[in-house]
Each structure stands twice: as structure tokens, then as C-alpha cells.
């Protein structure tokens, strides 16, 4: 009954915000389309299709809002106007009660709030669809006296969020099935695959130990960096539904007036942001994949002035060496207008069938890329280029990998953020040195030397054992030869014995034959 009522509310919300008309226009001819035509006559809304979808998702609650945010990144599947409208969705969710928050924190820590924190701000400073954040100050302990007076941020999962998520995901799967069956373009939009992808993101975000581990890895990757800061995790205070981390002070990246007033160089900030992203992707193969303005701050403290501060590490992307190689060489080939190489890379990556004709794919890539070269490089969006390449590849049965979808989404965020800070930013000019360094590291002399260094520990362990391995091999070889010789001698002796027996038998037979013949002649004579 609860599922039925929830489904009824979804359908009513769709009608209220005018989605019925949009759904009707997109359906295949049939009874359902006829019924929706009748219902649409009573629809009160006059919003555009993008506005209708955004407002409906906002009205349906935080899980649908987050689904809209994830869906907005699939610009390879959605019309531009719908993707742009969905990108406006924000998590402005009312916080849950202070008493519940305190109870969850104390249950996770196994201690009273007053035993761990010298001060605790009961009013949350941020509230999102799956968690909210409180500020506090730590007390020192006998084990960690250095904790005394440390400012921390405490992230707490919403109580009872998992059943709500599972229920809404089940309804989303039902809707996805209907879209795929009834919508004219339903299969191309891959609604079920998008719901599955959303399911993965949500469940990853529900494990705060996983998020803490992501943050720790990024912090280690950028240790000593003068461009990016990651909060420290307090592991002894972290659990599945509570995470305690270093509190970071800074100005939100979206507050341009405040950044200018503080004296931050926005052009340098834009350039640093691009370099940070491409370093994460091509050097580390591990990147923050939720880099919207709400998760990015800028430090104005004297010692760390102008550095980025990254927050919220629930969604990260990881790339293999083959992924990195594919992307780096694709970008380089694109800007060198080497479309054949772009096509070859698609085939070499295994994402299009091997029997694909290079010339056909090259022509499709040229049709996508060539129009961009009528524009200055600073006006070229690498994210859009990547998306267009994926779209062009689809008719060749390319399978786009989830990690590349995350990369495309993040690249679009980085580009938008960079050009907001510096409208004249030449993203390619900033990114190209990072790509070239990576390619040189992989296939150049530097790469050869680095790989020797990487293998050195293995060699150091192996080299001292070579004499012993050689002696063992010689002994085994000699033993083997000895065994082979002995076997051969036995075979020769056996053959010799057989030959000797055959000779004696032949001689005896001949003697018997001769004796018999003589006896017969004498007897007859």
C-alpha cells in the first residue's frame, strides 16, 4: 500500500508540473498515449520540459533531487535544455532533529558528546539529501593529547535513510521500465542503466568509512601540494554512519566578490583548478568526481592563501593505465587534428568492435571535431568534445565505461568553474603540459627510466638468487641428462640383449636345419 501511494504521488506530481504532456508527446502510438492526451487537457502547468522535470523532482524529495543531479551529467543522452535545467538542482533539504543527530553520534562513538568534544554545535551547518554536518572542538586524550582544541566537522547520515532509498529506487526502476517500453526514444536513453548507476553512487555515499578512505587517498596524493588541501580524517572517531574530519576554513568558490575582496588572483585560481584536475586524472588515476561549487572552498589563511579546499568525497573516479593512455592520446590527437589516430585509439581500446573500419570511424570523428577548429582554443570545451566523441561512437556499438561518464561530468564542472573565474582561460593551454608530461612518462625515456625504478625492488630481491637458481638449473639439467643417458643405456642393453637372443636363436635354428638335412641325406643314402 505504501508503494502504491508513493507511485500515485509521483504520477500526481508529474501531472501537476505538466510532465504528462511531455510524456505523451514522446510515447509510441497506442492506448496509453490516447489516455494521456485526455489527461493532459486538464494539466495546469505551462512550464518548459526542462523546468517541468526539475520542479517535479524537487517536489518528490531528496532522493529524486539527487537522481536529477546525476542524470544532468548524462549530456550524451539528454537534450541540452533538459540537462541545463537539471544542473540547477540543489540539495536544500531540511535538517533532521538535533536529538537524533546527537544520539547517532554517541552511538557511533560509544561515548557521550561531552566526553569527546569540549564544544559541539547542535545546529547543523549544512544539510543534504543523505547527511548533515555539525561543527565541534575536540578534547585531548591520553592517546592523542594533540587533539586538544582541534576544530572538526562531523558528518552524520540521516536516520532511516536506507529503507527510503531502497523504496524510491524500486519505484525509479518501475518508471525506467515504463520509459523503455513506452517512450519512442526510451532504449537510447538507457533508463535502467542510469538507475543502476545512481544506485551505485547512493550506496557508496551511505558508507562514510568509504568516503573517509577516499579523502585519505586524495590527501596522500596531494601531500606537500601548494594548490590543494584535503581535510585530515580522525579514524578513531569514524564509523559507517558518522565521520569526523578536520574543519576547513575558506571562502566558497562561488563567492567571487568575497574572493576578489580578499585579494585572491582569480586567473591563477582558474589555472590551478585545471592543473589539479588533470593531475588527479593522469598522474594519480584517482579523482574527486563531485566538484560542484558547493564542495570547493578557497583558503585565505596567510600560510595557505589561495589554495583550493576540497570537501565531500562520497563520489570518486578511478582510471586504469589503459584508460589514461586512451584519454591522453585522444586529447593530443584531437588538438593535432589527427582524426585517424582518434579512430585507431577507439578501436585499440576495445570499446568498438575490432571489425570496425578505421576509415568510417575516422569520418565520424572528423564530422564531430572539425567544426571546433573554427574557434579559438580558449572557446573549446574538452568536456563537450569528449561527449561528442562518445555520441559519434555510439553508432559503432561503443560501450561507454562508467568511469569515463564520471570523468566527463567532472571535466564539465571544472571547465564551467574555471571559466567562471577567468572567462578568457585557455583550458587546453593549461592542460596540454600535464598531458604531454604524462605521455612522456609512459612512452618516453623518462617513462623507461621510471619503469626501471619501479621494477628495481623486484630485481633487488631476484638478483641475489640468480647464482642459486643457475646452480639448481645446472644440477637439474645434469640430473636430467644423466637420467636420459641411463635410460638410453638401458634401452641399448635391452636392444643388445634382444639382438643377442635373436642371433642365438637364428644360429640354433640354422644348426638344427643343417643337422636335420645331413641326417636325412645319410638315412636316404
Cβ(302)–Cβ(327) below 8 Å: no
Cα–chain center distance at 492: 68
Q: Which of 75-84, 99-108, 417-426 is predicted most confidently?
A: 99-108
pLDDT of residue 144: 92
- Does the annotation mark 265 as catalytic? no
Q: How many Å apart are CA 133 and CA 307, to the nearest integer?
A: 23
pLDDT at 440 over 80: no
Q: Is 391 a residue whose pLDDT tops 70?
A: no
C-alpha to C-alpha distance for 73 and 342, rounded to whole angstroms = 24
- pLDDT of the residue at 112: 95
Q: How far apart are CA 70 and CA 203, in angstroms?
A: 14
Mean pLDDT value across residues 170-182: 76
CA 106 – CA 103 distance, rounded (Å): 5
Q: What is the mean pLDDT of residues 209-215?
A: 94
Mean pLDDT lowest among 128-142, 158-172, 430-444 = 430-444
Identify whether the C-beta of residue 208 lies closer than 8 Å to the C-beta of residue 120: no
Q: Specify the higher pLDDT residue, 180 or 26.
A: 180
Among the ranges given (37-41, 58-62, 146-150, 226-230), the one the predictor scored with the smallest mean pLDDT: 37-41
pLDDT tens digits, one per residue of 286-318:
999 887 777 899 999 999 999 999 998 988 888
Look at residue 138 and tell me whether its pLDDT is greater than 70. yes
pLDDT given at position 492: 59
Q: DSSP state, 379?
A: G
Beta strands in 114-216 (DSSP E): 117-120, 126-127, 131-138, 151-157
Helix boundaries (H) for 316-465: 321-335, 339-348, 358-369, 382-394, 402-421, 427-443, 445-462
What was the pLDDT predicted at 331? 76
Q: What is the DSSP letter of 183?
A: B
The whole-number pLDDT of residue 31 equals 61
State the catalytic residue, choosing from 76, 272, 290, 312: 290
* Residue 158 CA: distances (Å) to CA of 95, 131, 162, 212, 241: 9, 5, 9, 17, 8
The rounded percent of the chain whose pLDDT value lies above 70 is 67
Listed ranges 26-35, 424-433, 466-475, 494-503; the one with the highest mean pLDDT: 424-433
Domain spans in the chain, listed from the N-terminal domain onward: 1-91, 93-247, 250-443
Q: How many angstroms separate the CA atoms of 116 and 137, rounded?
A: 9
pLDDT in tens, 456-487: 666 666 667 667 666 666 666 666 665 666 66
110 vs 88: CA distance, rounded Å: 40
- pLDDT, one tens digit per residue, over 352-388 is 777 888 888 888 888 877 877 666 656 667 666 766 7
More confident residue, 90 or 381: 381
Burial class (CB in 10 A: 0-12, 13-18, 19+), 9: middle
- Average pLDDT over every residue of 51-75: 74
> Cα(257)–Cα(261) distance, rounded to whole angstroms?
6
Q: CA–CA separation, 386 vs 69, rounded Å?
A: 20
Q: Is the pLDDT of residue 513 over 70?
A: no
pLDDT of residue 366: 86
CA-CA distance, 178 to 23, in Å (whole number)? 11
What does the pLDDT read at residue 208?
Answer: 93
Q: pLDDT class for 239, splitting at 50, 70, 90?
A: very high
Distance CA 291, CA 307 (A): 15
- The helix or strand, by DSSP H or E, that contains position 310, with its residue range, turns out to be strand 308-310
- For the entire predicted model, the pTM comes to 0.71
How does the average pLDDT of the chain come out, rounded? Answer: 78
What region, left, alpha or beta, does residue 87 occupy, with left being phi > 0 and alpha being psi -120 to 50 degrees?
alpha
**Which residues, in sequence order, are CB contacts of 303 under 8 Å at separation 6+?**
none
For residue 150, pLDDT over 90 is answered with yes
Q: Which residues, 6+ apart, have CB-to-CB distance to 195 below 8 Å?
A: 67, 169, 172, 173, 176
| Nearest-5° Cα angle at 136, 133 to 138 | 135
Query: Is 445 or 86 the better-scoring residue by pLDDT?
Result: 86
Amino acid at each position: 500500500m505504501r508503494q502504491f501511494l508513493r507511485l500515485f504521488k509521483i504520477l500526481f506530481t508529474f501531472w501537476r508540473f505538466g510532465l504528462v504532456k511531455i510524456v505523451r508527446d514522446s510515447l509510441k502510438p497506442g492506448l496509453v498515449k490516447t489516455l494521456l492526451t485526455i489527461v493532459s487537457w486538464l494539466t495546469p502547468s505551462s512550464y518548459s520540459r526542462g523546468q517541468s522535470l526539475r520542479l517535479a523532482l524537487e517536489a518528490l524529495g531528496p532522493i529524486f533531487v539527487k537522481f536529477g543531479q546525476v542524470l544532468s551529467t548524462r549530456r550524451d543522452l539528454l537534450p541540452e535544455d533538459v540537462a541545463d535545467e537539471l544542473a540547477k538542482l540543489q540539495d536544500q533539504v531540511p535538517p533532521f532533529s538535533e536529538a537524533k543527530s546527537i544520539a547517532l553520534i554517541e552511538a557511533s562513538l560509544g561515548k557521550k558528546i561531552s566526553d569527546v568534544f569540549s564544544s559541539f554545535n547542535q545546529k547543523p551547518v549544512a544539510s543534504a539529501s543523505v547527511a548533515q554536518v555539525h561543527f565541534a572542538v575536540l578534547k585531548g586524550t591520553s592517546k592523542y593529547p594533540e587533539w586538544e582544541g582541534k576544530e572538526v566537522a562531523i558528518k552524520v547520515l540521516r536516520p532511516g535513510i536506507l529503507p527510503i532509498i531502497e523504496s524510491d529506487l524500486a519505484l525509479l526502476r518501475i518508471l525506467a521500465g515504463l520509459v523503455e517500453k513506452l517512450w519512442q526514444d526510451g532504449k537510447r536513453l538507457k533508463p535502467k542503466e542510469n538507475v543502476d548507476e545512481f544506485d551505485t553512487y547512493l550506496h557508496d555515499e551511505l558508507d562514510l568509512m568509504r568516503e573517509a578512505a577516499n579523502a585519505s587517498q586524495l590527501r596522500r596524493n596531494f601531500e606537500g601540494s601548494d594548490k590543494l588541501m584535503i581535510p585530515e580524517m580522525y579514524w578513531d572517531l569514524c564509523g559507517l554512519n558518522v565521520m569526523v574530519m578536520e574543519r576547513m576554513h575558506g571562502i566558497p568558490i562561488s563567492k567571487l566578490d568575497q574572493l576578489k575582496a580578499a585579494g585572491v588572483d582569480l586567473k591563477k585560481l582558474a589555472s590551478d583548478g585545471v592543473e589539479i584536475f588533470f593531475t588527479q586524472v593522469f598522474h594519480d588515476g584517482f579523482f574527486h568526481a563531485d566538484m560542484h561549487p558547493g564542495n570547493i572552498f578557497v583558503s585565505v589563511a596567510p600560510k595557505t592563501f589561495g589554495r583550493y579546499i576540497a570537501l565531500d568525497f562520497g563520489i570518486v573516479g578511478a582510471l586504469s593505465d589503459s584508460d589514461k593512455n586512451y584519454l591522453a592520446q585522444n586529447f593530443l590527437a584531437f588538438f593535432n587534428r589527427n582524426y585517424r589516430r582518434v579512430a585507431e585509439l577507439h578501436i585499440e581500446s576495445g570499446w568498438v568492435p575490432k571489425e570496425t573500419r578505421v576509415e568510417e570511424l575516422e569520418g565520424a570523428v572528423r564530422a564531430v571535431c572539425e567544426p571546433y577548429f573554427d574557434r579559438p582554443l580558449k572557446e573549446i570545451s574538452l568536456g563537450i568534445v569528449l561527449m561528442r566523441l562518445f555520441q559519434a561512437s555510439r553508432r559503432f556499438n561503443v560501450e561507454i565505461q562508467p568511469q569515463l561518464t564520471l570523468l566527463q561530468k567532472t571535466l564539465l564542472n571544472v571547465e564551467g568553474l574555471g571559466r567562471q573565474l577567468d572567462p578568457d582561460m585557455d583550458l587546453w593551454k593549461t592542460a596540454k603540459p600535464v598531458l604531454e608530461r604524462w605521455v612522456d612518462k609512459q612512452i618516453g625515456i623518462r617513462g623507461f627510466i621510471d619503469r626501471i625504478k619501479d621494477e628495481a625492488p623486484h630485481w633487488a630481491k631476484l638478483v641475489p638468487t640468480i647464482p642459486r637458481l643457475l646452480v639448481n638449473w645446472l644440477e637439474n639439467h645434469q640430473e636430467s641428462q644423466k637420467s636420459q643417458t641411463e635410460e638410453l643405456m638401458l634401452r641399448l642393453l635391452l636392444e643388445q640383449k634382444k639382438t643377442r637372443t635373436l642371433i642365438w636363436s637364428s644360429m640354433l635354428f640354422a644348426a638344427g636345419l643343417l643337422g636335420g638335412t645331413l641326417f636325412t641325406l645319410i638315412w636316404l643314402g
